[in-house]
Amino acid sequence: MTNLVTLDNLPKHVPPETVEAMTASWRDLPSTPLANKIERDMLMTQCAALKTPATHSWIAGRVATMLAQYFTGNVPEQMVEAIADDWNQELKGLPAWAVSMAVRWWMGAGNKHRHRKPLPGDIAERAHFEMWRVRHAERAVANFDKYGSELPPYMR
């Protein structure tokens, strides 16, 4: 691949550790209403930042780094580019932090299939799961927009 992004020239994005720290309290959002419009607007701004999609070149570089940890024989460059395109099609629109967290999970001790080389859908499925943080925040904003700072009793 001629335009491969390496670790040295990866574009800046929100690192997974920053996302985890930034969203640590978001688990409580479904049951804790936002206090005011300032909180609501701040949460929407954070969501927008967290939803910024990874670039095509970033995805190609991250996937190449991950797949390099699994055995592969000599693969012609055209095939490597086609494989990268498959990954980009599956992961396009996802933020870099969610893809990074998905890759870390796939290769981590918590995944009983970590010894297998992942397919694009494996990483995409987990990256979509990692987006729970954004879904919780967007639901809290929608609840604030509908009910204000006081949730109805059945939502508490």
User: Does the structure show a pLDDT above 90 at 153?
Assistant: no
Q: Give residue 22's pLDDT.
A: 86
Phi-psi domain of 91 (left: phi exceeds 0; alpha: psi -120 through 50; beta: other): alpha
Rounded CA-CA distance 96/7 in Å is 13
- Mean local confidence (pLDDT), 48-72: 90
Rounded CA-CA distance 80/84 in Å is 6
Q: Give residue 154's pLDDT.
A: 67
Report pLDDT digits (tens) over 4-33: 444 454 456 778 888 888 898 888 887 788
Q: Which of these, 98, 103, 122, lies nearest to 16 by C-alpha position?
A: 98
Q: Give residue 5's pLDDT.
A: 44
- Separation in Å, CA 156 to CA 34, 113, 124, 139: 13, 38, 32, 14
At 3 the three-state DSSP class reads coil
Rounded CA-CA distance 40/55 in Å is 28
Largest separation between any pair of C-alpha atoms in the chain: 62
- Mean local confidence (pLDDT), 89-105: 96
Per DSSP, the residues of 35-66 read -SHHHHHHHHHHHHHHTPBPPHHHHHHHHHHH
pTM of the predicted model as reported, rounded to 2 decimal places = 0.85
